[in-house]
Amino acid sequence: MDLASVYQRIEFLKRELNEHNHRYYVLNEPSISDFEYDRLMQELISLEKDYPQFADSLSPTQRIGDDRNQEFVQREHNLSMYSLGNTYNRDEVIEFDKRLQKLIQGPIEYACELKYDGAAISLTYEHGRLIRALTRGDGTRGDDVTANLKTIRSIPLTIPVESCPALFEIRGEIILLRDTFNALNEERLSEGEPPFANPRNAAAGTLKMQNSSLVAKRKLDCFLYSLAGEALPGATHSENLSWARRVGFKVPPYLEVFQDIEKVLAFIDKWKDARKKLPFDTDGIVIKVNSLEQQNQAGFTAKSPRWAIAYKYPPDQAETRLVSVDFQVGRTGAITPVANLEPVLLAGTTVKRASLHNADQIQILDLHIGDFVLIEKGGEIIPKIIGVNLAKRDLFATPVIFITTCPECGTALTRDQGEAKHFCPNEDLCPPQIKGKIEHFISRKAMNIDSAGIETVGQLYEAGLLKTIADLYDLTYDQLINQNRFANKSVSNLIAAIQESKKIRFERVLFALGIRYVGETVAKKLARTLGSIDAIMLASREQLISVDEIGERIADSLISFFAMEKNREVIRRLMEHGVQMSQVIEENVKQIQPLSGKTVVISGTFSRYSRDELKEFVEKFGGKNVSSVSSKTSFILAGENMGPEKLKKANDLAIPLMGEDEFINLLSL
């Protein structure tokens, strides 16, 4: 065939395979046999191999995945992924309606749909092509899992561009059907691997696998339930989902629209038991204001939209016998009691253990060994004991007594005033604390030393090679090659990963130190405000509290941590090894930042930089990104196809608009 014929054949095969994927995985109406499908796929694979100039990153052949490992990059969502407020109470659903009647003009229409139990995902399409798939993350930033999402055959890689927004997001849940989940667990058991606890955990874990060819074998599915963006095709939530279904997205058919709250409550009642007969897990009902204009009128709180709420069905409960209680030691020295139970089936999984949280919880429950206890799953995931059947208590049952000494090192436990937990203060010699701090330090969100793991840390600790996080940087090839399970490649990979971690930004290093109450957000605020470890160590209590989101408890924890000579010594050693201990300020970032104190809304599409890059520039030069226009907005960075509602609100509030070129000139980029 000549090149033109080859190209035409490749395009034909892509269209055919995309159509058959849609029919099989979305419509459940296959029109050809598996044999015929495989024959078409093999032909396309062969042609793309022989004519690589016609290969396409969104070809159906990409759904088989890539067996090379990949790093997940974190990217910002164009629009924040808020969490929903939850309720288990019908009266609170009625109160939700009453609040909205005060916020919204005119009659309210509600769109009700099932709450699918999976891993949240956001798919971004530009000019009809899938360009990015992000996990929810913290709602502002998520992991880029695009390569893994391409393997899910119910997700269209391209959609018709006619009547399609130039740029939009569609959001949903990555799920595993129960039959697929059960088959996966049977396979894991046959290979001697532990089974997954539930389909949600299995879906979330699969989504984060580094090898997309393995992801492809897991048969993930995706239910989509919301469009986000500007210039959307419909004026209501339900219209947008109807459009999404028409152009090829897998939108479940369970959505219904109602004009009053009583019918919403009837919808909740309808699915209470019926949902258990579905082939996938669901734990409630999502209720949304249908009109997008009315959604804007209602607005958002800091964490969730005011125009939506999730009604969750009361969790399933079961009764079983308390066999014993273990006490576990965490990396901070916190002691967590864990109940060992006679195995019982609860919400589709076998429960053998349940957290008891702290001494107060044990006392409130008045637990005795051998008690018959009532357990439920909080959010239908985490088992917890909620009560005791006193009628079945044995006359000679012994009460559960909270320990007074550490089960690992024997040190007397302490409990600070106002603290719910007991702690082991022996952080220098208590093995779980030492190993836990190192495990936290190497974790992905901290120093990302991915060639190490819990087993490796344990082995090197037992060998006397790791006692502090700084010891990681003293490890040598000769020390490691003599350890069991270490070969030339694994040693080289570990040393290379440790060296690479020296490039990790200071804010993540600060988080990695494992200072109590200093999580990712607090570490970022401290690093960006004070700039270096020296400045933080020398800061007074008042200076620390003046930093955004830093309260007295965090300030006291920081002062206590840096007051200890052993901690200062670890930091000194890390600095000597070249670990980043100050914020790196790029040369082109001026000392007097041009966006200092500015609140910026970014809207539309841009030619020179992506939205993510523009958002990074706003933060880097002292500004703050927000998603909605208000009287506090300093200016709108406006691209092509700016949202009409944002434009109208900007005009109403006299908010200035700034183009991409003007913005770049302002920052002298």
Provide DSSP, 500-555: HGGGS-HHHHHHHTT-TT--HHHHHHHHHHH-BHHHHHH--HHHHHTSTT--HHHH
Of 193, 168, 195, residue with least CA distance to 181: 195
Classify residue 610 as exposed, middle or buried by CB count within 10 Å of its CB (0-12, 13-18, 19+): middle
pLDDT band for 341, please (50, 70, 90 cuts).
very high
Q: Is CATH 3.20.20.70 the right assignment for the domain spanning 599-666?
A: no
Is the pLDDT confidence value at 182 over 90? Answer: no
315: its two tokens: 């969790």
User: Can you tell me the mean pLDDT for 194-206?
Assistant: 80
SS3 623: coil
Q: Where is pLDDT greater, at 183 or 104?
A: 104
**Distance between CA 274 and CA 110 in Å, rounded?**
21
Helix axes of 90-103 and 261-274: crossing angle, nearest 10 degrees: 150
pLDDT band for 380, please (50, 70, 90 cuts).
very low
pLDDT band for 192, please (50, 70, 90 cuts).
low
What CATH class is the domain 76-312? alpha beta
pLDDT tens, residue by residue, 85-123: 888 889 999 999 999 999 998 999 999 999 998 889 999
SS3 136: coil
pLDDT tens, residue by residue, 126-159: 999 999 999 988 788 888 899 899 999 899 999 9
pTM given for the model = 0.50
Q: Which spans in 307-358 are helix H?
A: none
Cβ neighbour number for residue 249 with a 10 Å cutoff = 24
pLDDT band for 321, please (50, 70, 90 cuts).
very high
CATH topology of domain 3-64: Helix Hairpins (1.10.287)
Most confident of the following: 33-42, 144-153, 160-169, 371-380 = 144-153
Please give the distance of CA 104 from its chain centroid, rounded to a whole number.
32
SS3 6: helix
Cα→Cα distances 613→76, 120, 602, Å:
9, 23, 11
The lowest-confidence range among 69-78, 246-255, 272-281, 306-315 is 69-78
What percent of the chain is predicted at pLDDT more than 70?
93
Task: Name the active-site residue from 14, 115, 435, 525.
Answer: 115
Question: What's the pLDDT at 457?
Answer: 93
Backbone angles phi, psi at 652, to 5 degrees: -60, -35
Most confident of the following: 186-190, 330-334, 387-391, 441-445 = 387-391
Is the pLDDT confidence value at 591 over 70? Answer: no
Q: Where is pLDDT greater, at 434 or 138?
A: 434
pLDDT band for 69, please (50, 70, 90 cuts).
very low
The lowest-confidence range among 337-346, 377-386, 460-469 is 377-386
pLDDT band for 382, please (50, 70, 90 cuts).
low
**Distance between CA 204 and CA 148 in Å, rounded?**
12
Question: What's the pLDDT at 191?
Answer: 58
SS3 335: strand
For the chain, the domains span 3-64, 76-312, 315-424, 431-503, 506-576, 599-666
Question: What's the pLDDT at 469?
Answer: 96
pLDDT band for 479, please (50, 70, 90 cuts).
very high
Question: What's the pLDDT at 590?
Answer: 42
pLDDT tens, residue by residue, 552-586: 889 999 999 999 999 999 999 999 999 999 987 54
Is the pLDDT confidence value at 589 over 50? Answer: no
Cβ neighbour number for residue 135 with a 10 Å cutoff = 24
**Distance between CA 412 and CA 424 in Å, rounded?**
7
Tokens 């607090």 sit on residue: 522
Question: What's the pLDDT at 587?
Answer: 41
What CATH class is the domain 315-424? mainly beta
Strands (E), 560-620: 599-603
Fold match between domain 431-503 and domain 506-576:
yes
Active site residue 632: no
Of 114, 112, 133, residue with least CA distance to 122: 133
pLDDT tens, residue by residue, 455-474: 899 999 999 999 999 999 99
Encode burial over 295-317: b for 16+ CB neighbours within 10 A, e otherwise. Answer: bbbbebeeebbbbbbbbbbebee
CATH pick for 506-576 out of 1.10.8.60, 1.10.150.20, 1.10.3720.10, 1.10.10.10: 1.10.150.20
Is the pLDDT confidence value at 537 over 90? Answer: yes
Helix axes of 565-576 and 552-563: crossing angle, nearest 10 degrees: 80
The CATH homologous superfamily to which domain 431-503 belongs is: 5' to 3' exonuclease, C-terminal subdomain (1.10.150.20)
